[in-house]
């Protein structure tokens, strides 16, 4: 099983490298991704520790940061809404 997962990882890494070099994306996509990742984590951190909404704590994990990274400020609203309605 470990061998299978390693093969899948290597194949996907190879396909990602082919896509990057074939489309000549360069490093610009990496800086965009990194800046959005950092801003998303910072936004969740500010919501958690500012005290604006005291009953809401959104954990900093890849799923929540990815949601905020893809959706932006509406992503924070979605996470807060889910937290308030489901728990």
| Tens digit of each residue's pLDDT, the chain (87 residues) | 788 888 888 999 898 888 877 777 667 777 888 898 999 999 889 888 887 777 888 899 999 998 898 888 888 888 888 888 887
28-50 vs 73-86: helix crossing angle, rounded to 10: 40
Q: What is the pLDDT of residue 42?
A: 92
Put simply, whether the predicted model's pTM sits higher than 0.75 gets the answer no
Cα separation, 43 vs 22, in Å, equals 34
Print burial letters for 26-50: b (CB count within 10 Å at least 16), e (below 16): eeeeeeeeeebeeebeebbeebeee
Q: What is the pLDDT of residue 25?
A: 66
Question: 3: which 2 tokens?
Answer: 């061998």
Q: Where are the domains of the chain?
A: 26-86
């Amino acid at each position: 099983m470990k061998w299978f997962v390693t093969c899948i990882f290597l194949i996907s890494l190879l396909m990602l490298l082919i896509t990057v070099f074939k489309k000549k994306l360069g490093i610009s996509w990496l800086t965009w991704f990194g800046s959005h990742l950092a801003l998303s984590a910072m936004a969740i951190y500010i919501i958690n520790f500012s005290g604006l909404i005291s009953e809401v704590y959104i954990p900093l994990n890849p799923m929540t940061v990815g949601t905020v990274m893809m959706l932006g400020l509406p992503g924070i609203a979605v996470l807060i809404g889910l937290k308030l309605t489901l728990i």
